[in-house]
Structure 1
Amino acid sequence: MHDLSLLAIIWLGVFAASFAAHHTRLTPVLWYLFFGAIMVNLGWLPEQMPVFIQDFSELGIILIMFALGFEENTGNFLSSIKRSWGIAFFGAVAPFTVAYFATLYFWGDNNMALLCGLAMTATAVSLTMVSLKTEGLSKTPAATGIMTSAVLDDIASLALVAVMVPMATGEASLSFAGIALVVGKALMFFVLITFLGAWLFPASEGWVARIPFIGHFSLRQILSMARGEYTVLALLLVAVLVAITGHHFGFHPAVGAYMAGLVIKREYFDFHPGEQIDFHGQAKQIIDNVAFSWIGPVFFVSLGTKLVFDFDVFISVLPQGLLLFVGLFLGQVLSASLAARYTGSFDWPASWMIGFGMLGRAELAFVVMDIAYVQYHIMTVDAFYTLMLCAFLLNVSVPLTIRWWKKKYGEAAYT
């Protein structure tokens, strides 16, 4: 089937999901996942997406995370980092511990249990942030706490991948140099982002203005080209370039895109003062439409296609999958919520929202499962399907619990 035909089918699924979400009052993300799973199991979509669809869906999550960062206040994000270390630490230790000991009990293989624990460690923050935005909660303290702790969690998870995968595959032993390299690359990336936001983008001001070539550059000049006609193109170019840079430093591109949106300030859009046009609002409206209506949803539909049913295997691993799901659900929510309350000083409504928001599993989970199951054959087919089922149930839990918590306690509790 032609790649564009697959894209058309996915977009039909997006329409159907949006229609179902409107009539059921559930978040569209849940329906995107559902229709992705249905279409792959009916044979309408392939189990292995072509490169075009994979890249298109990755562009979608880059745009989503850039849009979320674009509307976030930089000061709120930075101040939240100090409050989020405990959420990142305890919110990662608990699911790793649960998954490790559960899979060790199920199958008795230490290396496989190590990688199963690692796969279930990192939070899929993109799913949570889109769910929060759908509910009108993306600018709350809880949302900022989830995003900052997820960034810290991502750094720790990357370090664990660098250390544990070689250990589990027998290619290397625990190395201080390997850990230091991962942490050093993460710090270098954040230094680079700080330089972009604090000095390069407003380069016509301060000491940077005296640097040849760079001193004549400022993001405002780029955004104002041709009476603002290329503003959106310039913003998307910044998002993709920083996402690629983040990928080269070891992060998922979505993290880099979020950071790119975070350091773009509203004052960069104060150009052409004689015109009564809100260039910032105009750009935000276009980016939100692209990110949340027609490119971004492709990522979640593609994510839903990861759950391919083999009935016999599915039935055989159903008890393990459900037990692991319950253990991870309770461990993740309790650890993240208690950490938010007692190490981050969030109030209880925000703390529970953070706990629910940390449930999703996506990018790193599938990367680790691919390494363990496809590349090195460490993970058995039963373990693979157990983790896939568990990850799908956790992802479905995110929009449902966020909707339930908002409905039960009211939006005013989070502002």
Structure 2
Amino acid sequence: MNFIGALCLLLILTTLAGHLANRIGIPAVIGQIIVGIIVGPALLNWIHLDSALNLFSQIGVIILMFLGGLESNLKLLRKYLRPAIIVAIVGVIFPVIMIGAAALAYSFSPLEAAFIGVVFSATSVSISVAVLRDYQALDTKEGATILGAAVADDIIGVILLSIMISMMGTAGVKTSGAPTNLLVVFTEQIAFFGGTYLMVRWIVPYLMRIGERLLMTSSVTITSMVICLGMAWAADAVGLSGAVGAFFAGIAVAHTPYRATIENHMEPIGYAVFVPLFFVSIGLNMSLDHLGNSIVFVAVLTFLACVSKLLGCGLGALMNGFNIHSSYMIGSGMISRGEMGLITAQIGFSSGLLSGTYYSDLILVIILSTLIAPFLLKHAIRRLPDNDRANLPLDMD
């Protein structure tokens, strides 16, 4: 099926699936992911994730995270930075130990087991952002902690992955044709966050004022899109997820007078085409070819993938004074692996750490945990005490 036909079909199906999901009380993203599973290689095999669909899905996650940053409260993010870092650290330790130990029990080598643990230490907050936006919980102390922890989690994951690749003695992740050096990566990431501070504080407000003076239709929106894509590219260039750059681009634009205009323009652009294709792409990655031979292994890892993040990040939240309900919400918001888990697993497969069979199993576990995460997060939000739920979104004034 050619790209235009596939795009048309996917937009019809994701719209209907999202509608039905909302009607029966589950997050719309679940319906969209299931569409990818049904029409993809896992079941009907009608559509495959080709380069064009993959490009649209990448733009989708960038726009989604830009909107997440646009709706975030920078005061909250600063206030809950320390808890977010602790949540991220504890939330990385638990999966590495628990899932690594399980992999050892299945006769993986210590290096392979450690790498599998690293794969599931990653968090993709894009799924959680979609659910938090649906329930107006993005601009809360729990939402701020989830977002901050996910960014810290991304940095820790990149460092761990770089260490693993170095231990293998392979070329691994490359920059400009040369093997990645951990010190170089770390230095580049520090430079990125330094540049991000300058963008938020001075550069983006200046660029947005210039954009307003341009004699072009939607010039302010175009300027914000350039900032979004540019910061996403910069984050990717230093080994971080492009979603991280897009998130900070959203924060930067949010602190200009153009926030409402940009949100009103960008949301239709993202949710009309690109964001649904991001969720569909998760389902299109799924394959059931080897499930019969490894169903127990997949079930065990899926259980541990969910429990390790729920316990680890929840414990990190409790250590910082959150109550049990807020800690459950934060732990649930960190479960999704999404594109970060898929990217990490792909790097390991390309580097020879995993065979094709085990790579397929890990992809399936990543997708299953990503499917489960929105249900748990919705349940956690609904279990907040009435006085806490009344504060969604939280008023900082």
The reply to whether TM is greater than 0.5 is yes
Contact 1:146 1:358 in 2 (8 A): yes
2:306 and 2:196 mapped to 1: Cα distance? Answer: 34
Give 2:26's aligned residue. Answer: 26
The structural deviation recorded for 1:93 is: 0.8
Give 2:183's aligned residue. Answer: 180
Give 2:288's aligned residue. Answer: 309
The structural deviation recorded for 1:88 is: 0.8
The structural deviation recorded for 1:382 is: 4.1
Aligned match for 1:42, one of 41, 44, 48: 44
1:222 and 1:379 mapped to 2: Cα distance? Answer: 48
Give 1:387's aligned residue. Answer: 362
Gaps of 5+ in 1: 204-217, 270-279
Give 2:375's aligned residue. Answer: 400
Give 1:362's aligned residue. Answer: 338
Aligned match for 1:318, one of 291, 295, 299: 295
Cα root mean square deviation, aligned: 2.1
The structural deviation recorded for 1:285 is: 1.8
Give 1:132's aligned residue. Answer: 132
Give 1:335's aligned residue. Answer: 312
Give a deviation string over 1:153-180, Cα, whole Å, max 9, x none.
11111111111023235569xxxx9332
Q: Equivalent residue of 1:409, what SS? A: coil
Gap change, CA 1:372 and 1:246, over 3 Å in 2: closer
Gap change, CA 1:225 and 1:257, over 3 Å in 2: same
Contact 2:205 2:253 in 1 (8 A): no
- In structure 2, give the amino acid aligned to 1:199: W
Gap change, CA 1:368 and 1:406, over 3 Å in 2: closer
Contact 1:74 1:263 in 2 (8 A): no
For these two proteins, the number of residue pairs brought into alignment is 381
2:51 and 2:212 mapped to 1: Cα distance? Answer: 32
Aligned match for 2:243, one of 239, 248, 254: 254
2:154 and 2:148 mapped to 1: Cα distance? Answer: 10
Q: How does 1:148-227 map to 2 (within 5 A)?
A: 148-168=148-168, 178-203=181-206, 218-226=207-215
- In structure 1, give the amino acid aligned to 2:370: N
Contact 2:90 2:312 in 1 (8 A): yes
Give a deviation string over 1:198-217, Cα, whole Å, max 9, x none.
122345xxxxxxxxxxxxxx
- In structure 1, give the amino acid aligned to 2:305: L
- In structure 2, give the amino acid aligned to 1:241: G
Give a deviation string over 1:115-142, Cα, whole Å, max 9, x none.
2111111101111111111122111111
1:234 and 1:196 mapped to 2: Cα distance? Answer: 13
Aligned match for 1:286, one of 249, 252, 265: 265
1:408 and 1:178 mapped to 2: Cα distance? Answer: 45
Q: Equivalent residue of 2:282, what SS? A: helix
Contact 2:171 2:351 in 1 (8 A): no
Is 1:78–2:81 an aligned residue pair?
no
Gaps of 5+ in 2: 173-179, 392-397
Is 1:263–2:252 an aligned residue pair?
yes
Structure with greater Cα Rg: 1
